[in-house]
Amino acid sequence: MYDLSSAQRHVVERVDRLTKEKLALRAAQYDRDGANPVENWKDLWREGFLAGVVPAAHGGLGLDMATYIAVIRTIAKGCANTAMTMHMHSTVLRFVDALGSEAQKRRYFGAAVNEGTLFASWGSEPAVSLSRTFLVETTVRRHPQGWLVEGTKHFCTMALAAGYHMVWCAVDGEADMAKGLLLVLVPATTPGLETDGKWNTLGMRATVSPSVTLRGCVVGEDGALGQPGAGIQVGVVESFGLGYAAIYLGIAEAALDFAADYAKKRIVRPENIPVAHDPAVQRHVGELRAHLDAALLVLAEAATEWAAADMVTRGLLANKAKYLATEVGLLVTSRVIQIVGGRGAYKDYLVERAFRDLRTATLMPPTVDRMLEAIGKSALGIETAMFRLGAGPQGA
């Protein structure tokens, strides 16, 4: 908790207790079952954290970015899947805050605050990559009752659990996302939502993210957030990457803490001393701790500077934090299994789940190549956003 005030620390300490006493205890079972972390969501709602980014005027905690990032990272130490789903939910609420009318804010913030309603974000599609160019093929058009949404989405986190799904759409098939991207909140009860529920993956199993088809889904007028093109221009999409970085580092911290504790308790014969006294183990742990601390400092700096940063700067801050968190997280979760030894491969051990979750979670866009490209452009004085906006085959 770098440079947090006493009030900010109090919030993080609250979620740390909740994570250790409840959320973390269910993580292995959710992973084994590939089931949504429903009880964890309920606990987070009862403690106010599901409304963490909702402004205080609407009944939420109104967390600043530095506190929010510390909260997400803390939850990830205990249950990465709970942290990831909460982060996606929270980012949708940021879009509501940035783009919604007062009536929409009362409706959607009220659902989160008073009912613990979850909000999901569905952007990925089978034929479109978000890794380099932001382009969607799911369409939305006017309908006598509001809006008509049709298309297919992949990796639909919380597809069987969220109350609302923020679907990334192109108005009337417009290929230029600067003009046509529209975010539409589709209620889970909307006729025409279809999924086979298939989700059997290496890691992040409790995020339950199957593919979903939307056929003739009619949404009310207040389902659309802002004007076409606005969703990518308000400095919110970049916060996805910043939160991912926090989750990756939280997973890695938990894995390294486990390995260090294991090394202190594991006695080897014939020396009858803990593994922690082995110089090779000390060097491994020292190297990983140094990498983690460096990545955490970059993350903390990004979160602290977030509020005052413009959209382009936020993209750079998120790219740097996510890139380092990706590389460090993969290094740490891989190496700690070596430190623990053969037992590290057992599913009874936290490091095995951490390795799988981190490897899966780091596939979230933007990719390492795109992040490095954007960071390099900034260093060379070339301004660039976190994502390129799609503009059809010629501009993709």
Sketch the domain layout of the chain as residue ranges: 6-118, 122-230, 238-395
The Cα–Cα gap between 209 and 337 comes to: 27
Predicted pLDDT at 19: 98
Neighbours of 71 (CB within 10 A): 28
Per CATH, the number for 122-230 is: 2.40.110.10
Strand 267-268 to 273-274 pairing: antiparallel
List of residues 6+ apart from 10 with CB closer than 8 A:
none
What is the Rg, in whole angstroms, of the alpha carbon atoms belonging to the chain? 21
Report which of 331, 316, 303, 333 is spatially closest to residue 1, judged by C-alpha positions. 303
Predicted pLDDT at 175: 77
Predicted pLDDT at 126: 84
pLDDT in tens, the chain (396 residues): 568 999 999 999 999 999 999 999 999 999 999 999 999 999 999 999 999 999 999 999 999 999 999 999 999 999 999 999 999 999 999 999 999 999 999 999 999 999 999 999 999 998 765 555 678 899 999 999 999 999 999 999 999 899 999 999 999 878 788 899 999 999 999 999 999 899 999 999 999 999 999 999 999 999 999 999 999 999 999 999 999 999 999 999 999 999 999 999 999 888 889 999 999 999 999 999 999 999 999 999 999 999 999 999 999 999 999 999 999 999 999 999 999 998 889 888 999 999 999 999 999 999 899 999 999 999 999 988 877 666 543 333
Report which of 73, 71, 33, 77 is spatially closest to residue 53, judged by C-alpha positions. 71
Predicted pLDDT at 355: 97
Pull the structure tokens for residue 317: 């801050």
Q: Which CATH architecture has domain 6-118?
A: Orthogonal Bundle (1.10)
How is domain 238-395 classified at the CATH fold level? Answer: Butyryl-CoA Dehydrogenase, subunit A; domain 3 (1.20.140)
Whole-prediction pTM value? 0.95
Predicted pLDDT at 130: 55
User: In b/e form, how buried is each residue of 135-162, taking b as 16+ CB within 10 angstroms?
Assistant: bbbbbbeeeeebbbbbbbbebbbbbebb
The Cα–Cα gap between 176 and 170 comes to: 8
